[in-house]
Amino acid sequence: GVRKALTDLAPETLIYVSCNPPTLARDLKELQHNFAINSVTPLDMFPQTAEIEVVVHLHA
């Protein structure tokens, strides 16, 4: 899966795009062992709704 690929490839940079904040939080908790957060950018792609996109830039 994706986790194995990240371990095998060991990228220096990872851009994570999410539309599900709980899943993003879960995944970032797991990724913190190999990556540090460089920036977090929320995007309101659907104005006047509760939906939000989040772009996270991580580095090894």
Residue 15: domain span: 2-59
Residues serving a catalytic function are: 19
pLDDT at 42: 97
pTM for the model:
0.86
Total domains in the fold of the chain? 1
Q: Which of 27, 44, 45, 52 is nearest to 15 (CA)?
A: 27
Place of tokens 């690929």: 5
| pLDDT digits 0-9 by tens, 32-58 | 999 999 999 999 999 999 999 999 999
**26-55 burial, b if ≥16 CB within 10 A, otherwise e?**
ebbeebeeebeeeeeeeeeeeeeeeeeebe
| pLDDT digits 0-9 by tens, 7-25 | 889 999 999 999 999 999 9
Higher pLDDT, 53 or 2: 53
pLDDT at 6: 86
Q: Which regions of the chain does DSSP assign to beta strands (E)?
A: 13-18, 36-43, 53-59
